[in-house]
Amino acid sequence: MAYDYDVIVVGGGPAGLNAAIRTRWVKRYKAIPCSTLLIENSYLGGLTSWRGCLFTGPSWQMKGKEIVRRLLKDVENLKIGIHQGRVNRINAEGEIKEVFTSDGKVFRSLAVIIAAGIKVLVNERDYLGRGLEVTSMGYEFIVSHLKKLLSRRWEPRLVIVGSQKLENLIPLIRELNTANSPLLYIMEGEGKGKEDILRGWVEKYWGDNRLQGLTVRTSKGPRKIKCGKVLLDFNSYELAPAWRMEIGTEKFNSPFIKVNQDMETSIPGLLAAGDVTSGGYNSFSRAVSQGMAAGLSAYRYVFHKKFRTYPPLFAYRPTDFTISSDFEEIPPLDEDLLPISLVDEKMIKSSLGRKWAVLSDSFNGKLSIRELAREKNLSPQDLTKILKRLAEKKLITFHIEVPR
C-alpha cells in the first residue's frame, strides 16, 4: 500500500516547525532525509509569531518575526511541503496513518507528529491590540486587567472566548461588570450553551482595521457576532485544550497527550510535542526541544521501517558498537525501495550532471530501484551509487511498499 509522506506534522508553531525541519535535515553529516508534510491552519510560527518570547530569561528575548524568519528559512531551503488547512481527524491505527483535513483532503504517512498546541488558531494575530486582548502575566494581573476592561460599557457587547475552563473566570467577570456591558461567553467545543454562554468554534475575526466581530461555527451553522472587544482567555486553554480534531485522546486518559521522553505515545508511529503534551512547563524553549526530539524519534521510527535497522544519529543518540573500517552512514539500499524526489526536477538534473540527466524525472515513488534500473538499462549497483549521492544531498529519499 502506498503512502504520501514519511512524516506528517500537524501544527506549524515552534514545536511543529522544529519537528519538520529535523525530519528533513536530521544532522550535519550524511543522512537519508524524510519526505515531510507540515499542516497548519493559521500563520506559521503559532503563538510565537504574535509578539515573541523569552528563550531562557530576560537577557535572551526574541522577537516573533525573527524567530519565524529563521525557522521558515530552513523550511524553505529544505523544500518541506506545507498544506494550509485544519486537521479534523487522525486515524493512527495500522502501519499507515491517515490525516483528514477540513477541505476534504486525506494524507497518508508512516508517522504523525501532533504539535497542534492548546487551541485552533485562526486570524487572532490580525487584531491583537486592535480590539482583541488576551489573558497573560499572572492571576493577579488578570484581575487588574478585568477591572480596567470592565470599567467602561462595551457596545454592542464584550465577548470572552475560551475553552471549557472559561467557567473559572465567568463568576469574576460577572462580579466586576460594573458598567453593565452586554456579555457573551464563547466556550470553544461541542455541546449545548445556556443563557449568555455559546458553544462552538471561532472560525474568523473580522473588521475594518479594528476588530468589529467574529464568526462562530455552532451546531446550527455559522453565526456572525458583532462586538466592541474580545478577551481571549488563554489560561482556560492551558487547563483544557480545544483542538477541534479527533485523535482518540481517550486512549491517553487525559485532554493532553501522554508521551515518553522521546515524545512517543503508546501508539507506534504517533508522536506529540509542545503544549499539547501532558506534564512539564509550557514555554518556547520546551516547544523547541520537544519538537526536535519528536522529529528525531519520528525519523528513527521511519528509518527502521524502511531499512530494518536504526539510524546512526551519532551524538544525538550514540550507538554502542565496534566501528569497522568499511562502515557507511547510509545503509545498503534494498532494490525494492522506491526513490522519490524531494525537490524539483531542475535541482535533480543539476546534481546528476549531463551523464545521468536522463534520470532526473524518474524519481516519483512509483518505480523501485530494480524496476528503474531495468527501465533505464543500468546495473542496480550503478544506480544505487547515484541514489546514495542524491540522498546525501537531501534531494531524494525512499518510500516502501507497505503490505495491506
Burial class of residue 137 in the structure, from the number of CB atoms within 10 Å of its CB (0-12 exposed, 13-18 middle, 19+ buried)? exposed
Indicate if 187 and 279 belong to the same structural domain: no
pLDDT surpasses 90 at 188: yes
Note whether residue 247 is domain-resident: yes
Of 216, 239, 262, the position where a domain reaches its end is 239
DSSP 97: E
Cell 491583537, residue located: 128
pLDDT digits (tens, 9 = 90+) for 284-303: 899 999 999 999 999 999 99
Task: Classify strands 81-84 and 36-40 as parallel, antiparallel or unpaired.
Answer: parallel
Q: What percent of the chain has pLDDT over 90?
A: 83
Of 184, 212, 239, the position where a domain reaches its end is 239
Q: What is the mean pLDDT of residues 13-24?
A: 97
Indicate if 136 and 205 belong to the same structural domain: yes
- When pLDDT is cut at 50, 70 and 90, the band that residue 60 belongs to is confident
| Domain range for 222 | 124-239
Q: What is the mean pLDDT of residues 146-159?
A: 97
Indicate if 112 and 248 belong to the same structural domain: yes
Indicate if 14 and 92 belong to the same structural domain: yes
What whole-number distance in Å separates Cα of residue 335 and Cα of residue 310? 19
Please count the other Cβ atoms lying within 10 Å of the Cβ belonging to residue 123: 17
Of 199, 219, 239, the position where a domain reaches its end is 239
What phi and psi, each to the nearest 5 degrees, are found at residue 84?
A: -85, 110
In the chain, the amino acid numbered 129 is: G
pLDDT digits (tens, 9 = 90+) for 304-335: 999 999 999 999 999 999 999 999 999 999 99
Indicate if 113 and 148 belong to the same structural domain: no
Q: What is the mean pLDDT of the chain?
A: 94
Burial class of residue 70 in the structure, from the number of CB atoms within 10 Å of its CB (0-12 exposed, 13-18 middle, 19+ buried)? exposed
For the chain, the domain total comes to: 3
pLDDT digits (tens, 9 = 90+) for 356-389: 999 999 999 999 999 999 999 999 999 999 999 9
Please count the other Cβ atoms lying within 10 Å of the Cβ belonging to residue 92: 18
Q: What grid cell was written down for 134? A: 488576551
Note whether residue 222 is domain-resident: yes
* pLDDT value of position 272: 97
Return the CA Rg of the chain: 24
Indicate if 278 and 218 belong to the same structural domain: no
Note whether residue 321 is domain-resident: no
Note whether residue 319 is domain-resident: no
Indicate if 95 and 232 belong to the same structural domain: no
Note whether residue 325 is domain-resident: no
Indicate if 302 and 255 belong to the same structural domain: yes
Indicate if 231 and 128 belong to the same structural domain: yes
Indicate if 98 and 247 belong to the same structural domain: yes
Note whether residue 200 is domain-resident: yes
Q: Which CATH number belongs to the domain containing residue 162 in this structure?
A: 3.50.50.60
* pLDDT value of position 385: 96
DSSP 36: E
What whole-number distance in Å separates Cα of residue 96 and Cα of residue 8? 11
Note whether residue 316 is domain-resident: no
Indicate if 35 and 183 belong to the same structural domain: no
Q: What is the mean pLDDT of residues 20-49?
A: 94
Indicate if 112 and 145 belong to the same structural domain: no
- When pLDDT is cut at 50, 70 and 90, the band that residue 83 belongs to is very high
pLDDT surpasses 60 at 107: yes
Note whether residue 318 is domain-resident: no
3-class secondary structure per residue, 359-397: HCCCCECCCCHHHHHHHCCCCHHHHHHHHHHHHHCCCEE
